Amino acid sequence: MITASYAFLPHIRASVVIIFKSVGYSMACVLVWRLQRAEGDDNAAARQLICRLSGRQQKRGRKESAPALLAGLSILLNTLMLLADYTPEELAHLAMVVFNPL
């Protein structure tokens, strides 16, 4: 009897996860939208860096696109989280281990 009354809990948890992910995605889209429309040299440099991080090619005459900015923003955030956990020296050592396994 008790298990039947709590059977809906996994569905509620899944719904909450979907809601939180949607909010996170919406926040990233708003950030990219704001960055695309911002003027100034610093904002242009930030857009160029983020597009470069994405690794996506742009059409001729187009400096950046929203999908490239979203992909680059994801890579930038992951890189910042990585730098918060490791020092540059530790990352260089790990890179040497990965690229020179012998």
Tell me the average pLDDT of the chain: 86
CA distance 45 to 91: 26
pLDDT digits (tens, 9 = 90+) for 18-60: 888 888 889 989 999 999 999 999 999 999 999 999 988 877 8
> What ranges do the domains of the chain cover?
2-99
Q: How confident is the model at residue 9 (pLDDT cuts 50, 70, 90)?
A: low
Q: Is the pTM of this model over 0.95?
A: no
For position 5, what pLDDT does the model report? 62
